[in-house]
Amino acid sequence: MSNFFEAHKDTLFQAVKTSKSRDYWSAYPEIASGKIYGETAKDDQLAEFEGILGKPFALGQPTNGKWTGAETSPYGKELGVTYEDVDPAELVKASQEAGKSWAKASVEERVGVALEMLDRINKKSFLIANAVMHTSGQAFMMAFQAGGPHAQDRGLEAVAYAYDAMTQTPTEVTWTKPQGKHDPIVLDKKFRVVPRGVALVIGCATFPTWNTYPGMFASFVTGNPVIIKPHPMAILPMAISIQIGREVLKEAGFDPNVLLLAADTTDAPKTKELVTADAVKIIDFTGSNAFGEWVRENAGDALVYTEEAGVNAITIESTDNLRGMASNIAFSLSLYSGQMCTTPQNIFVPRDGIETNDGKKSFEEVADAIKISLDKLLGDPARAAAILGAVQNPATLERIDAAGKLGKVIRSSEPVEGMNGARSATPTLVAVDSKNEEAYMQERFGPISFIIACDDIDDAIARAAGSAKSHGAITAALYSTDEAVIDKAVDAYAWAGAPLSVNLTGNIYVNQSAAYSDFHVTGANPAGNASLTDGAYVANRFRIATVRRQAAMA
């Protein structure tokens, strides 16, 4: 067992170190290259993926004998994969039982299992990429990166934070209190990390691994058995991950039920019964504000960590690179058809226009610059498909239609040519006045953005930061050449608890959030109550049991 820890400890220590330096680093290469992953890995794992389809996917976990699951690909394919069905109460019981020996394992044993699991998951990145692609609708390259190495890095980051937190306290100490002329009082003390209980991780359909690994690994290495409840439309990526985890657990001599899958369907959901189970003591949730609120209110004494949703904003005051700005924004709006929790929705611009390197531009000209950049970016259908991917949920298409009626349509959404059988939609951009809060002051999930005419830059910043504070935001961007304006926005967003990206014009986007460096979600506004990953995300998942023993007196 401890071989796993030994084998991977340098990776762990580098992750701990980078989480404190917050410079760039990655343990898992994001380049889908045969040189890195093996020349036949891509084809082999595609074949493996296809071999999984249309069959039961057995994990060997407790079951009521039935099979469940009804995933369909946003690219049009029936997946036909089914999973062991089980009553939530039985699942919780099996989890509790498996947790007993897991609780007694050493920190190094548990962390070693997690590191080996991540390593094996990494080697299956092409398999998982196919599973992520055909559940979330992400284009293949994004599914590989965001569903593979980037998600693995977020998992490792959680392991690193948890390891660091658990090892702040020594396992034992001799405590010696001087007593003046008398002999000192001496106590031998031992400190043991003890878990909370059964942990539940509720995943989402758009990032089935990236948003699930952090909570799963954080609870897992701190000694809690984990039940993973993926979104009913995106089970397979986690089923594969759990299968790998259960194998490593078995090899290490643990009950594989430390990791359990709770598969369900939209028609017969299991989430509420799991959330309200007494034995569930930790819940990680990714999803809507409405259901997030229900989870927070019905979790009893369980700790709850949420990533919900918000309205992300861009504020434009001025720029010295109009074309760079417009094309950067266009890419941010297009990537995965605006289905990222980090996609900007609202673009606040003074109605009198902005100063640029190309002279003063009116509000309409700014809107047009973004439209032109979108058209250029998405003009070639093959490139458009590779950037946009497919639309995960049919309801998103309805929202796009509805958005067109909320203001002046600058650019309308269209399906992508050649993506036969897939749900596809390019971004729509709608101009509205800042007074029309009904239009833009709520999340309209998908490739839907508003360009909003404001009184002036102060009004724009106040609305952008204000909406983050009141409705939540996971990202924010600002374009300005004026340091005083930047300072003002920095203060406003610190107050609103949203991370701010300033003057991005190059090959880096407001949507991107890098492990070990960017705190994803601040936990300081309604977009979520926790950050992936920081000290608070891990520190309360375990407690410390102390044993004090009077040392033999002289």
Q: For its own copies, which stretch binds (CB under 8 A), given 127-135, 175-183, 237-245, 362-370?
A: 175-183
CA angle 97, 100, 103 (to 5 degrees): 140
Stretch that binds its own copies, among 49-57, 260-268, 348-356, 545-553 (CB under 8 A): 545-553
Regarding 505 and contact with its own copies (CB under 8 A), the answer is yes
Tokens representing residue 37 in the block? 């992953």
Mutual orientation of helices 381-388 and 363-377 as an angle, nearest 10°? 100
Find the shortest distance in angstroms from Cβ 190 to its own copies: 8
Query: By CB under 8 A, is residue 523 in contact with its own copies?
Result: yes
Instruction: Tell me the per-residue interface mask from 278 to 297 with its own copies, x by CB under 8 A, - otherwise.
Output: ------------------x-
Tokens of 437: 């809060």
The one among 35, 177, 181, 405 contacting its own copies by CB under 8 A: 177
**Residue pair 304/296 in contact by the 8 Å Cβ criterion:** yes
Helical H segments across 394-551, by residue range: 394-403, 437-440, 457-471, 483-496, 535-539
446 or 523: CB nearest its own copies: 523
State which residue, 141 or 494, has the beta carbon closest to its own copies. Answer: 494
Distance CA 288, CA 268 (A): 19
Looking at beta carbons only, is 375 or 491 nearer to its own copies? 491
498 near its own copies (CB under 8 A): yes
Give the helix/strand (H/E) hosting 275: helix 271-275
125 scored as a contact of its own copies (CB under 8 A): no
Report, in Å, the least distance between residue 508 CB and its own copies: 5
225 binds its own copies (CB under 8 A): no
Per-position DSSP letters for 26-92, written without gaps between them: -SS--S--HHHH-TTHHHHHHHHHHHHTTSEE-------S-EE---B-TTS-B---EEE---HHHHH
CA dist 78 and 57 (Å) reads: 15
Smallest distance, its own copies to C-beta of residue 12, A:
17
- According to CB under 8 A, which one of 6, 23, 352, 437 is a site residue for its own copies? 23
Residue of the chain from 2, 21, 40, 357 that contacts its own copies (CB under 8 A)? 21
- The most distant pair of C-alpha atoms in the chain lies apart, rounded to whole Å, by 89
At its nearest, how many Å lie between its own copies and the CB of residue 315?
13
Give the x/- contact pattern for its own copies in 226-265, rule: CB under 8 A: ----------------------------------------
Report residue 308: phi and psi, to 5°.
-105, -125
CB of 235 to its own copies, least distance (A): 31
**Using CA atoms, how far apart are residues 342 and 532, in angstroms rounded to an integer?**
13
Do the beta carbons of residue 367 and residue 450 sit within 8 Å?
no
Q: Which stretch binds its own copies (CB under 8 A): 18-26, 67-75, 114-122, 237-245?
A: 18-26
Q: What's the residue count for the chain?
A: 554
Q: C-alpha angle with apex 84: 220 to 97, nearest 5 degrees? A: 40
Q: Which C-beta is closer to its own copies: that of 141 or that of 406?
A: 141
Q: Is 96 in the site for its own copies (CB under 8 A)?
A: no
What's the DSSP call for residue 170? -
Cα distance between residue 362 and residue 430, in whole Å: 16
Of residues 400, 497, 527, 533, which one binds its own copies by CB under 8 A? 497
Q: In the block, which residue shows the tokens 């259960």? A: 246
Q: Which of 503, 515, 527, 533 binds its own copies (CB under 8 A)?
A: 503
Q: Does the footprint of its own copies cover residue 192 (CB under 8 A)?
A: yes
φ/ψ region of 212 (left if φ > 0, alpha if ψ in -120 to 50, else beta) reads: alpha
> Is 134 or 192 the residue whose CB approaches its own copies more closely?
192
Q: How many residues bind its own copies (CB under 8 A)?
A: 68
Measured from the CB of residue 247, what is the shortest distance to its own copies in angstroms?
A: 28
Shortest Cβ 426–its own copies spacing (Å): 26
Answer for the pair 228, 208: CB distance below 8 angstroms, yes or no: no
Residue 168 makes contact with its own copies by CB under 8 A: yes
Is 29 among the residues that bind its own copies (CB under 8 A)?
no
In angstroms, give the least distance from the CB of 468 to its own copies. 11
User: Among 241, 265, 226, 193, which Cα is nearest to 91's?
Assistant: 226
How open is the CA angle 215-217-221, to the nearest 5 degrees? 125
Q: Which residues pair with 314 in a beta bridge?
A: 347, 477
Binding residues for its own copies, rule: CB under 8 A, are 20-24, 103-104, 165, 168-170, 173-179, 185, 187, 189-192, 194, 196, 296, 301, 490-491, 493-495, 497-508, 514, 517-519, 522-524, 529, 531, 534-536, 539-540, 543-550, 553
